Structure 1
């Protein structure tokens, strides 16, 4: 990836372990000399012995700042990897002292273009805050801010427990959760954010507080949390594993069948008051696979059922009646879901390849099959042309069971879109090649989204903030109701009046 060199470009390559004054192991103290009025040695002396500081030119720095999407990326002059909550307090206070921007990172997939507004400052990388502690009663677990989804799933599974996490194994637990957070188990338990019990949070002024359901801030953390602080740990609900076994049926269709495929989905689950069965998840992907179809993108329909070894024919037969190109049936456990759907830790979507990966999400209640056909044709033209830059694009349609999500009152969290049934997003993967190509991707993605929006019959654009492209508005990210916007802005003014947390989908 290409990273702009800004004020501290002259800093020598250096990775240090920051520790107490008496026992610092600093490779070259000159690397942390005061520069441009900023004394970075001062910060190093205040951090715990296992905290780390990375400077430009080191492999550790490059790895820490590398993004999954190389489009409008944030720029850091220094990376701090805290080992304790207090390290974050010291780093925020230091940044405030020198009026330095700071940005907290963890996981992989935060790709919103508003991050590019950070042109210098400190990255706070939470990877060392990776503790997972199950409480003695087995009802909750305290989860460090640096924990990723796979590690949490595996740790809980070993104890006979599970909770709602993001579906992709390499995403963090808290990053998605602070934006609401969809997951395989949400039909049973609600969103990731719905599991939150209490949180330790470092505020913009450097103070460390604990909040729970009695706090206005806790309401905001459940859907708009990126705007309000650094969550160092979260205590969340966990559950006994009830049905470990899962089955999947993958059906590959020709693009010529696009309207028929999504009409079946509507008739089965999404119209006339129907909803996705509690034990079923319905995903689909569009992508160009010249081996299967050299002319146009295919439709991969995933029917995933919990508690069985074979997906019920009541779910599969209506799709089989359409005559798919191929089918495949697999059985396993909950921990196989990411592999089956191509989002495991070692799969391509979890790798940092230098590509740009903008998404253009929209929530829907059901499929407008005419709109599906129109956007399929746009996707077809964009991905199969010999000169296209978007041949590796992926169109994602996520349909989870919604019972527990909808059982929670909409006003009880900052997440605004409990009434919607589908999460849809084109992912326009491409190799960066300058502003003109970026503009083409933006135009295509927004054109696709606009067709879906117009076909939805909705009066406001509802988007998933964790997938956001960046040109959406706060009304699209956090709900268009006046009371929601007023409540969020008022709390922002109280908790973060200087807008220190404003690089990710800012409220104002």
Structure 2
């Protein structure tokens, strides 16, 4: 077991004075001496880190967003599954809150309700095991999308992943998981075959279709509420088109936005399974103008993709690029190679999301224009508006008994406001723009009730929107069984 800047347990007495202060703070925050409580029960590879340690930011996973974050008295990095079990049990005995960190990409305001917690940093669980004979991939909660691209591509395999290469695979999975390959293979949860999860009781449980199937149902869409997943096994697929995709990027004048929404609307009733689309809007501070672009991925040949690309070319883009690449390069190449921006940690950021199955050109145009005006008038704002379009056919083809709790497989278009700005002094202004814009988009979404992909949710929508009203009785019953003290799920809680 390691402690404070990875010092061996035998060197505790030699720790710097700042560590003594950290211990004092931890004791005052929780009424407990953290090291004395946890160090004896951890494995030799585990480590304890206090926020006051000089190397804390380098030794522990830092949050992507500083918006209304949880607060920690200490971070413990377990090395083996029994470490996680011990931490959960020991924290429960002493009534200390816990919080598990995989990729640290969540930004819901509910996380701010987690105070003086033990942060369980899962980054040591960063292994992958690919079996090409059985088409199974097992991985830990320290794995992000980028860790999988070359591994699978080089083996002639693929799996649905999201657009941002730095997002945690398991974290995205338990919210359903959308991305450019979902038209061919369904959501990421549709590839999930089992999980090893440490429950609120500290038990290590396998959940699958055959073992604890109720828990497995809940994990697929509401997993953050039921424990700490320490391993997940997925089915992988033979790569389509030898793993090659057409990737195309377009940049338009802002005046083309209505025409771009008309292109999107033309696919409302029929959309190719092979194609992923992201339309992005922002504001160029150096040029003082709004921006508008589109990125397309198409699993197929140039000739097969061309009729769809021609619709964008007809709008006279001011910049365009079309290339054939391996699917493993999609995330890094998309958007003229701008993907890394969303991976910067420590930004003050939140997001609002809407799910739709139709395009109202008038409302989309109006919201874009309002977004551009809002951005132009506020030099402190660096947010974006993203509209993603994927085929929902494969997700809807999954039998109901295999689907999990995620209720909104019929979403075809996802709209998200990704808000980046300088701090809480401007929260009210951002909310005052986003909430009416979200309401206007929901009103023309094509759905009778609000739909939101939970990983894009702001956090104020409520359980009926996150999980579906019809699912709540079963979810509540499972929550009472597996997490009766509400240890987990602060971001999108299931209320007991």
Q: Same fold (TM over 0.5)?
A: yes
The superposition leaves residues 57-83 of structure 1 with CA deviations (integer Å, 9 ceiling, x where unpaired) of: 124433436321111011001101111
| Greater than 4 Å deviation, 4+ residue runs | 23-27, 29-34, 342-346
Shift of 1:46: 1.0
User: For the Cα contact (< 8 Å) 1:48–1:84, is it kept in 2?
Assistant: yes
| Residue 466 (structure 1) aligns with | 455
- Whether 1:440 aligns to 2:433 is no
TM-score (norm 1): 0.89
Equivalent in the alignment of 1:239: 237
- Aligned residues of 2:354 and 2:453 also touching (Cα < 8 A): yes
Aligned length: 480
User: Matches of 1:284 and 1:334 in 2, distance apart?
Assistant: 19
Q: Deviations over 1:89-121 (max 9, x none)?
A: 011011101101111112242111111111111
Q: Does 1:284 align with 2:279?
A: yes
User: Which residue is equivalent to 2:473?
Assistant: 486
Distance in 1, matches of 2:124 and 2:14, equals 21
Tell me the residue number matched to 2:466: 477
**Structure 1 residues 101-500: aligned runs within 5 Å:** 101-135=97-131, 137-214=133-210, 215-243=213-241, 244-267=243-266, 269-271=267-269, 274=270, 276-289=271-284, 294-295=288-289, 297-309=290-302, 312-342=305-335, 347-352=340-345, 354-385=346-377, 387-390=378-381, 392-410=382-400, 412-432=403-423, 434=424, 436-479=425-468, 481=469, 483-500=470-487
Change (3 A) 1:174 1:258: same
CA distance in 2: counterparts of 1:209 and 1:473, whole angstroms = 28
CA shift for structure 1 position 39: 4.5
Measured after TM superposition, the shift of residue 307 of structure 1 is 2.8
Question: Which protein is richer in helix relative to its size?
Answer: 2
Distance 1:247 1:497, change over 3 A: same
Cα pair 1:343 1:350 within 8 Å, conserved: no
Shift of 1:249: 2.1
Residue equivalent to 1:3: none
**Structure 1: which 5+ residue stretches go unaligned?**
1-12
**TM-superposed deviation, 1:263:** 1.2
Q: Is the 8 A contact 2:180 2:277 kept in 1?
A: no
In 1, Cα distance between the equivalents of 2:7 and 2:221? 35
Query: Structure 1 residues 281 and 259, CA, compared in 2 at 3 Å: closer, same or farther?
Result: same
Secondary structure of 1:234's partner? Answer: strand
> Relative to structure 2, which stretch is displaced further, 60-69 or 146-155?
60-69
Alpha carbons 1:18, 1:44 under 8 Å: kept: no
SS of the residue 2:374 aligns to:
helix
Aligned pair partner of 1:49 in 27, 44, 47:
44
What displacement does 1:158 show?
3.4
Structure 2 Cα separation of the partners of residues 419 and 156 of structure 1: 28
Instruction: Give the CA RMSD over aligned residues.
Output: 2.3
Give the Cα–Cα distance (whole angstroms) in 2 for the partners of residues 343 and 500 of structure 1: 42
Residues 490 and 377 of structure 1, relative CA distance in 2, 3 Å threshold? same
Contact 2:452–2:466 (CA under 8 A) maintained in structure 1? yes
Equivalent residues of 2:195, 2:207 under 8 A apart: yes
Runs of 5+ consecutive residues of structure 2 not aligned to the other structure: none
Q: Give me the whole-angstrom Cα distance separating, in 2, the residues matched to 1:17 and 1:311.
A: 58
Secondary structure at the counterpart of residue 147 of structure 1: coil
> Using a 3 Å threshold, how does the CA distance of structure 1 residues 154 and 313 change in structure 2: closer, same or farther?
closer
